[in-house]
Chain A
């Protein structure tokens, strides 16, 4: 694949994209193989957040279907009223379970929605980092092979 650097600015003067990523960011948000290629969710969390002890909490609101219509595009959303620094989603049965980490700066709502790939029926866990601790909510998402395939 070609290296591509495309900037699209609607009107205003562009700031170089490099500057975008030079803005100081919370360390645990940036991508690294050490975090995202871990085969065990606990190891991924350890590398992402420096901790992997989790506590279930009903303040973590995880929304995902009981039965995915299509395992390639499963809508997942996580939200909490807790004062959250970061939100992560783990998909247990995927080769590398940690799918996403999202940093929540001050003034940003503790919420993220995305669409995930799930290879098969799996536990999906939402992780919220708040006050240095990790809180979770989990559910099973069934992934089936349709009858009318094609």
Chain B
């Protein structure tokens, strides 16, 4: 199952998007129970695409909270597709697609 949850609503031609991405966003500063540092592990790049066009991109450092929340808005309409993808510092990727309501 994707780590990305998307809510996308057409409000008079402006699509309001809210995303929640399940990810620990480890800063690399935390220690585990044995005292060992937990390695940094965080989403670095996020990209959103609708109808084949890139509508939003963002890059993060570890100052972004665990389970990152991202909201943005773009010109679009109900029924269009919206795909949100991320890439983290290990090279792992994930994406989710939805239909704008």
Interface residues of A (CB under 8 A from B): 1-12, 15, 17-18, 20-21, 23, 25-26, 29-31, 35-37, 72-75, 77, 91, 94-105, 107-109, 111-118
Contact = CB atoms under 8 A, between A and B. Distances in A.
B65 A112 contact: no
A99 B97 contact: no
Given A3-B90, A36-B61, A117-B27, A20 B83 contact: yes
A150 B61 CA distance: 29
Contacts of B70: 112-114
B49 A100 contact: no
Contact of B92 (A4, A113, A114): A4
Given A20-B83, A20-B95, A23-B54, A31 B65 contact: no
Contacts of A5: 92-94
Interface residues of B, number: 49
B65 A116 contact: yes
A104 B71 contact: no
**A-B pairs with the 10 shortest C-beta distances?**
A8-B2, A31-B44, A99-B63, A113-B71, A36-B61, A109-B73, A108-B74, A31-B59, A115-B65, A4-B92
B83 A104 contact: no
Interface string B58-91: 1111111110111111110000010101010011
Contacts of B60: 31, 36, 99-100
Which of the listed residues A20, A21, A75 has the most CB atoms from chain B within 10 Å of its own CB? Answer: A20
